[in-house]
Amino acid sequence: MGKRKDTEKIKKAKDRWTNEMLRPNLKLLPERLPSFTTVSNLSIDEPLYTPSDAADLDYLKDLGFPGEYPFTRGTYPSMYRGRIWTMREFAGYGTAEETNKRFKYLLKKGTTGLSVAFDLPTLMGYDSDHPRAKGEVGRCGVAIDSLSDMERLFKGIPLDKITTSMTINAPAAVIFAMYIAVAEKQGVSPSQIGGTIQNDILKEYIAQKEWIYPPAPSIRLITDTISYCVKNTPKWHPISISGYHIREAGATAVQELAFTLVDGLTYVDACIKAGLKIDEFAGRLSFFFNSHNDFFEEIAKFRAARRIWAREIKERYRPKDFHSMQMRFHIQTAGCSLTAQQPHNNIVRTAIQALAAVLGGTQSLHTNSMDETLSLPTERAVTIALRTQQIIAYESGVTNTIDPLGGAYFIEALTNKVEEEVYKYFKKIDELGGMVEAIQQGFPQREIARSAQWYQRAIEKKEKIVVGLNEFIEEEEPIETLRIGPEVEKRQIKAVKEIRKKRNRKKWEASLRKLRIAAEGKNNLMPYIIDAVKAYATVGEVSNTLKEVFGEYKEPAAF
């Protein structure tokens, strides 16, 4: 009762301030815009937020304490007072040897985890000598054809001492199998390796478009990977449910969060249908989000993400272990926000986005380099990106307290608004029959396309200002960029052909034959894929074997 009276008192005081102070001032100095919105077009209704805008907030129910349900204020009790987030820089280009050098360079500069970028042929399940790989080998990531490449990629890097994140989806099980095999060659058991494989196929159908198989067998591969990890690699995250690429495709913050969470719940349902219990695997699921330019919207998004996920897991699946309700996530700053014009401005954008990620409570962070809209990053650019994280961690003071923005009226109101809008999408997707059916009908694809179109028009009309792009335009000297020459492709094609000549043909043939039989049945495919890569079957050969059983995905018309 006392709280209600206080809220009413504050509301009356705000009305007085509005009439006596704000409106007279606006006659002299009108607001800059007819309306204010976030970068995602969420309206900022109030010029000033007060306790009355968060009056319905129940502290214990809606916020709680860090490390406790609903985890709004943080995944872990001590957050960065106990441990700084894992600092990663996405790295991969050319051959395994070149990328290995970049890994060691980054580790020397202070990264605390590795993050692997694979080239387009690898992402699509093609070997480097496939006709469709021509011109793309090693261009936008490292080319990995066989276990031999993976051995060279991690040469001299102890896999029991470092965690590795690998961004790959359709062939994720194959790349993960190679990582396990490399670790074993180092004398490291699968139980000792730590890291994440992205392994999120639903967002490929929605946004990134790098798929091989139809949804059902693709989800089987994912549940097989999760099941294998439950039994064999307790430190490994077998999936990173990714909103990053959804946002990069043009989604709003709300769409990114809604579609990602529904994807995650779809995987949970699939795992339970496959015979796993919620407390066996939910604690090993991880997420991957984008941090865009709108500072407060991003922080609100991350806080809402934890709260929604915790609530949905609790209410749908009734876990006994509270870890099953914790959301752990990696964040990458927004590549789509970077501009080719005045690329040094990207350093500032990345710093703001990284700070939002930290204040939003991330467990792992990648900061984009200023030149990534032009090419793969140079050593100078990637060092600045890493130093950005280190300055935030050790100089800014924001790591000294947990969730320092918790309780801020605007933050809590915006968190609630993001959550409310997310649940509207939940309802719509449920009405369509779930995410797989929604994808088949093109629903998320159309929603993202509309948002991308709105944002592009807002830039063209200067309703949204992008410094150096549509305002404050000036000429700037070109910066140094990294170039990948055609010799990389020639070397990689030669290497994969040599592997095919050297390997034990009988073991190779037997491993692929057993894999095909397993794919036709119901056995977990991971052991068979591991045996195949140990026999030096290539990414393309394993993918083709599965393709013969599973078929290929054809995207239905969405527009």
Q: Fill in the amino acid letter for 109.
A: K
Q: Number of C-alpha atoms within 13 angstroms, CB side, residue 506?
A: 0
Whether 532 and 512 have beta carbons less than 8 Å apart is answered as yes
What's the whole-number mean pLDDT along residues 506-514? 98
Instruction: Please tell me the distance from the alpha carbon of residue 463 to that of residue 331, in angstroms, as a whole number.
Output: 28
Instruction: Please tell me the distance from the alpha carbon of residue 126 to that of residue 495, in angstroms, as a whole number.
Output: 15
Q: What share of the chain is helix, strand, coil (3-state, %, to 5)?
A: 55, 10, 40
Whether 425 and 387 have beta carbons less than 8 Å apart is answered as no
What's the whole-number mean pLDDT along residues 523-534? 98
**Cβ-based neighbours of 487, under 8 Å, separated by 6 or more:** none
Q: Residue 205 carries which DSSP code?
A: I
pLDDT tens for residues 273-291?
Answer: 999 999 999 999 999 999 9
**Cβ-based neighbours of 545, under 8 Å, separated by 6 or more:** 512, 515, 516, 519, 532, 537
pLDDT tens for residues 35-52?
Answer: 999 999 999 989 999 998
pLDDT of residue 1: 36
In this model, does residue 475 exceed pLDDT 90?
Answer: no
**Cβ-based neighbours of 274, under 8 Å, separated by 6 or more:** 220, 223, 227
In this model, does residue 198 exceed pLDDT 90?
Answer: yes
**Cβ-based neighbours of 500, under 8 Å, separated by 6 or more:** 538
Q: What is the arrangement of strands in the sheet containing 86-88, beginning at the earlier edge strand?
A: 86-88, 364-366, 329-333, 286-291, 240-242
pLDDT of residue 6: 82
Instruction: Please tell me the distance from the alpha carbon of residue 305 to that of residue 366, in angstroms, as a whole number.
Output: 19
Q: Which residue has the tokens 């399940």?
A: 125
Q: Which residues pair with residue 333 across a beta bridge?
A: 291
Residue 95 pLDDT class (50, 70, 90 cuts): very high
Instruction: Please tell me the distance from the alpha carbon of residue 171 to that of residue 165, in angstroms, as a whole number.
Output: 15
pLDDT tens for residues 399-436?
Answer: 999 999 999 999 999 999 999 999 999 999 999 999 99
Residue 5 neighbours by CB distance under 10 Å: 9
Element (H, E) at 90: strand 90-91
Query: Of 70, 71, 128, 133, nearest to 96 (Cα)?
Result: 128
Residue 557 pLDDT class (50, 70, 90 cuts): confident
Query: Of 130, 108, 126, 129, nearest to 118 (Cα)?
Result: 126
Residue 121 neighbours by CB distance under 10 Å: 28
Q: Number of C-alpha atoms within 13 angstroms, CB side, residue 288?
A: 26
pTM to 2 decimal places: 0.96
Instruction: Please tell me the distance from the alpha carbon of residue 543 to that of residue 521, in angstroms, as a whole number.
Output: 17
pLDDT of residue 477: 85
pLDDT tens for residues 121-151?
Answer: 999 999 999 999 999 999 999 999 999 999 9
**3-state SS assignment for residue 43:** strand
Q: Fill in the amino acid letter for 218.
A: S
The alpha carbon of 362 is separated from its chain's Cα centroid by a whole number of angstroms, namely: 11
Pick from 8-12, 23-27, 232-236, 455-459: least confident? 8-12
Element (H, E) at 163: strand 163-167
pLDDT of residue 388: 98
What's the whole-number mean pLDDT along residues 196-219? 97
Round the average pLDDT of the chain to a whole number and report it: 96
pLDDT of residue 4: 67
pLDDT of residue 280: 98
Instruction: Please tell me the distance from the alpha carbon of residue 298 to that of residue 290, in angstroms, as a whole number.
Output: 8
Element (H, E) at 290: strand 286-291
DSSP-derived pairing of the beta strands 194-197 and 364-366: unpaired
pLDDT of residue 405: 97
Whether 399 and 393 have beta carbons less than 8 Å apart is answered as yes
Whether 174 and 209 have beta carbons less than 8 Å apart is answered as no
Phi/psi of residue 88, nearest 5 degrees: -120, 155
Across 383-499, the runs of DSSP E, i.e. the strands, are none
What's the whole-number mean pLDDT along residues 244-256? 98
Residue 196 neighbours by CB distance under 10 Å: 25
pLDDT of residue 99: 98
pLDDT of residue 558: 65
**3-state SS assignment for residue 235:** coil
User: Peptide bond preceding 77: is omega within 30 degrees of 0, i.e. cis?
Assistant: no
Quickly list DSSP for 321-383.
SGGGG---EEEEE-GGG--SSSTTHHHHHHHHHHHHHHHTT-SEEE---TTTTTSSPPHHHHH
Q: Fill in the amino acid letter for 228.
A: Y
| C-alpha pair distances (Å), 555 with each of 121, 215, 381 | 19, 11, 37
